[in-house]
Amino acid sequence: MIGEILGNRYEIKKLIGEGGMALVYLAQDLLLDRPVAIKLLRSEYSSDQEFVERFQREAKSAAKLCHPNVVNIYDVGETENSHYIVMEYIDGISLKDLIKKEGMLSVEDSLKIAEQICSALDHAHKNLIVHRDIKPHNIMITKQKHVKVMDFGIARAVSSATITRTGVVLGSVHYFSPEQATGKEVTEASDIYSLGVVLYEMLTGKVPYDADTPVGIAYQHVQAEIPPLSQKRPGLPPFVVGIVNKALAKKPEDRFKSAREMEVSIIEALSTLHEINLEKTFLSKLNVKEPPYKGDVAENGARGVLGPTKPYESSERDQEMGRKKNAEKKRKKAKRSLVKTLLLILLGLMLPTYLFFQISAFLNVPEVEVPNIVGLSDVEARKRIDERNLVYEVDSEVFSPDVPKGHVITQIPEAGRVVKINRNVQVILSKGPELVIVPDLIGMDIRNAQVMLQAMNLTDGEREYVETDEYPPNTIIDQSPKPNEDIEKGSAVNLTVATASSTRVFKMPSLINITLQEAKLLLGRHGLVLGDTYPDSTSILPEGYIVAQNPLPDSDVTEGTIVDVTISAKSGSVFLQESTEGSGDGDEASQWEISHGVKEYNVLVHVVRSGILRIVVIDETGSKEWFHSSVKEGEVIQRNVSGLGAQGKPDVYVQIWLDGEIWREQVLLDVTR
């Protein structure tokens, strides 16, 4: 693509980004002589005519938006193999990269950025366009700290045309609204929720919800309470916390009624923030005003007390007395001027002296060493701090599996520092281990129960197999702890599993490092059934040897258990599932083949920067790593991956990680074999 000219106008310069839907290139508009960004659709979308038509319609609709906080769309076109849109090129940094660089943003910067995003959303919503994919990756910050929101209207085209075909996950599930996670109607309120997540991340440096799988994150968006902001950033103003909490309300009707209403609240919060940040300077606190000088009440005697006097001719004696009085007045006036001057000089000398002693008294405060109170109880820690003439302050309380409830987790300043007396020592206290509610697993299949436990941050504990004809085999008939009990996060849940009458429970033999034919013989001797086979082109074992299995070796199994295996294969090899004969239930078996099987996906990665690249598939059997290696900018990595799942269900996820962060994610719906 580099060097090609699209539409006889746009010369491709270099690849600057890659997303789940398109590649983004920097190009030069040869007609207007300006840089532009070109988003080129991936081939899997360009071949779908219905999607292309919807994409062009939505892109043209978004092009009508004209707002200083919206990235402008200039043009829509097509090549022989794909379709593209031409957008305004932003010379800046994405909000996601800014958060990575800075960690927590300042409260003022966070509110200012959110205010501009609200303004962009308000403009779009008034034009009947819902973004559906608000996240830091789609928000650019220019060098002048001006906010630009990208991809208005494009997400709508993706969701309408492809969600039922390929299961593309729009954006990251970390920013999903509860209605998006449950497949309900997406409205303007969904954008407000996503913006609330973005504001939460700006203030804390972390998203509110995280888990090992997308299903777990989506479940938290729907069910879990918002982790208190005070746990991740103590001391935030209550009016800022209120804005975040309202935007993240589970029900759309409990959020801000519009982006404009949220924008007004943010503007008011900024105004309040500026007011409380205003402080008087030290000199203004020590301002000394000169007391007013009152002087004489009157220069003459009491005129008019006895009424007007009769005029008379002055004598020489009277004139002499008058001259003496005038001379006396001048002496008094000169004396008063001298007194004023001396007072001003004295004040000028005393004020610096006063300031000197005040500052010296402030600086020459006795110092003490901060004691180590980490691990102590609240009472004991407070006592130690009081003994050093310091001020004990509880900043917040957070969950901790390692520190007992009511004990100190961390302290600021740290132990050993020398500080002045009366200094505040802030501590974070433990609330003990975090508790979660045990889900109701009774009646579930064992595989679905494992997925549910993982989503709830619980583990699969001991299993007891009970022969019964009342439940289908591999169905959960009892559990411990019971449903709806509160237990510590990460705890194990023991399960009682139904097996057919007279079914023998035994340990699963190991199939690792033997051939597929040898595995078939071994499974047959134990009454086990070979299930799905998956190719692994990254294995160092010879072709045809088993590198992984499910159930795992030494786990409890019964006769008739289906065993899935992963086999070492050359790149491009495919292992086909053999048909089972003589089942007796032809219709049911046929329906199973249609509704359950292998979902395949061809991963093609254009590496935009050097780092550690991982390709991971998560399905109902767990997670598997298909690629893990260091890569260089410009490399192209291709892998054919697969996972086991049910037709039409979003239960197989393909994740691409770069340097420990998820870069792209694809959810697979359709069974291919």
Task: Read off the pLDDT of each residue in 135-161 and give the average, rounded to a whole number.
Answer: 74
Q: Which of 75, 133, 395, 619 is catalytic?
A: 133
Looking at the fold, whether 471 and 425 belong to one and the same domain comes out as no
CATH number at residue 71: 3.30.200.20
At 420-453, the pLDDT tens digits run: 888 888 888 998 888 888 999 998 888 778 777 8
Domain co-membership, 381 together with 485: no
- Give a yes or no: residue 534 inside a domain: yes
Please check whether residues 384 and 244 belong to one and the same domain: no
Domain annotation covers residue 415 = yes
Share of the chain above pLDDT 70, in %: 79
Q: What pLDDT is stored for residue 301 in this prediction?
A: 36
Q: Please check whether residue 230 lies inside any domain of the structure.
A: yes
Q: Is 635 found in the same domain as 517? A: yes
Judgement on whether residues 264 and 148 belong to the same structural domain of the protein: yes
Whether residues 448 and 410 share a domain: the answer is no
Q: Using one digit for the tens of pLDDT, what is the confidence trace for 209-245?
A: 888 777 788 888 888 888 999 888 988 988 999 999 9
What is the SS3 assignment for 1? coil
Shared domain for 479 and 419, answered yes or no, is no
Tokens 């007013």 belong to residue: 292
Domain boundary among the residues 273, 308, 339 is at 273
pTM equals 0.45
Domain boundary, last residue among 499, 527, 547: 499
Q: Are residues 183 and 97 in the same domain?
A: yes
Supply the CATH number for residue 399's domain: 3.30.10.20
Count: domains in the chain: 5
Q: Which of 249, 273, 297 is the last residue of a domain?
A: 273
Rounded CA separation 529/522 (Å): 10
Mapped onto helix, strand or coil, the DSSP state of residue 488 is strand
pLDDT value at residue 583: 38
| CATH number of the domain residue 264 falls in | 1.10.510.10
- Residues 269-275 have a mean pLDDT of 82
Tell me the DSSP string of 502-567. Answer: TPPEEEPPP-TTSBHHHHHHHHHHTT-EEEEEEEETT-SSPTTBEEEEESPTT-EEETT-EEEEEE
Whether 557 and 633 share a structural domain: yes
Told to judge if 97 belongs to the known catalytic residues of this protein, a careful annotator would answer no
Q: Give me the half-sphere count of Cα atoms (radius 13 Å) on the Cβ side of residue 586.
A: 1
Give Cα separations from 668 to 145, 230, 617, 642, 648 (angstroms): 39, 38, 10, 9, 8
324 domain residue, yes or no? no
pLDDT value for 231: 86
* H or E element in which residue 333 lies: helix 316-363
Rounded CA gap, 384 and 381, in Å?
5
User: Are 389 and 484 contained in the same domain?
Assistant: no
Per-residue model confidence (pLDDT) at position 456: 79
81 and 219 in a single domain? The answer is no
pLDDT in tens, 599-633: 888 887 777 778 888 888 888 777 788 888 888 87
Is there a domain that residue 289 lies in? no
Residue 354 lies in a domain: no
Same-domain pairing of 589 and 460: no
Decide: 88 and 142 in contact? Cβ < 8 Å.
no
For residue 571, pLDDT beyond 70: no
* Residue 414 domain flag: yes
**Would you say residue 565 lies in a domain?**
yes
Rounded Cα distance between 450 and 445, Å, is 9
Domain that holds residue 451: 435-499
